[in-house]
Amino acid sequence: MSTDDGSATRSVFGPARLGPLTLKNRIIKSATFEGAAPRGVVSDELIAFHVRVARGGAAMTTVAYLAVSPEGRTDRHVVVLGEGSREGLARLTSAVHAAGALASAQIGHAGPVANSKSNGAPALSPSRRFGASGSLTRAVTPDDIARITEDYRRGAATAVEAGFDAIEVHLGHNYLLSSFLSPKLNRRTDAWGGTLGARARFPREVVAAVRDGAGPDVAVTAKLNMTDGVPGGFDLPESIDVARMLEADGHLDALELTGGSSLSNPMYLFRGDAPRAEFAATLPQPIRLGFAVVGKRFLKEYPFEEAYFRDPARRFLDALDLPLILLGGINRLDTVESALSEGFSFVAMARALLREPDLVARWERGERDPGRCIHCNRCMPSIYSGTTCVEADPAAAG
């Protein structure tokens, strides 16, 4: 059983170790794209977004997501880790610390999920294919792999210089490293394709580089797909094997378990209502007309259930000693308590805290009312104008 402190029963509210860090409780705000970095600039709105979560009681808030290179942005409104963003990110981490929480930087490379038109650069993928923006991607070369691995190392060092306490490596949702793990997306026949060991080589090298760039005083975690949720994609048995590889490499302090594909099946991650009409309204013509045809296939509808990733994540508890972070539609304090009692070291919450940033503080004060998120998922299309809960009381965003 995974354990971080040898305790069979973990208290939600009390000091908890995450590698070299001590968190004030076991609830982490997971990464959700904030839509608040116009032209890649750290804005006051981005800082305020995370300060609300910090004041609301979460032990750590995760900034999502920080690209390690310009072509690795999802689009041009994403912060790139580097000299130009260090000062703004330092303002963010200082504000989060002053509000009583730690700050984690989710770092990554969008790969085939990148909007090549917005970025002004071809999207990259393990093998040539159509990417998220409808353009053909460019297959990554060995030189690209070496360059991007070094970009991760430098990006981790920049994040530490900017005051981040933890770094989360994005290995999910068919972003670049996740797409290398996928047998459906990775059709390579060289040293980075074919067997699972070969497909996992690039992600493992990146995690090692991030640990090297971060140093010993910062926690390093990874967000790993348990399954892509698409036929022929990366799935549970291979994911458990990759998790064992990452544990054996010894560079991670915890693993956060996720699922779904931003390329082919994003609703597998979210569950609940599929906001097709709201999403279509954000698209320009004629793409909007095309979405009316393919929308049901792209934004599938999955029934919502509390902690919907818990059952597959339990398989990792049995296979690993590495601390595990459970996420996936957690809205209730008793769900948090039962997850910790099973052996998960932390829980990560997103939509519940988007609607009620102070939910954790209320629970700590003794209230036990569940979060009021109704999983309508209409927050998803709001990423283009600043991610927000459309059902929330406006006063909660103050």
Catalytic residues: 175
Judge contact between 51 and 95, C-beta under 8 A.
yes
What are the φ and ψ backbone dihedral angles of 321, each rounded to 5 degrees? -100, -10
Three-state DSSP class for residue 394: helix
Round to whole Å and give the CA distance between 86 and 81: 7
DSSP 263: T
Round to whole Å and give the CA distance between 130 and 123: 9
Judge contact between 387 and 65, C-beta under 8 A.
no
**Distances from the Cα of 381 to the Cα of 133, 203, 282, 298, 331, angstroms:** 16, 29, 7, 14, 21
DSSP string, 167-230: EEEEE-BTSHHHHHH-TTT----STTSSSHHHHTHHHHHHHHHHHHHH-TTSEEEEEEEEE-SS
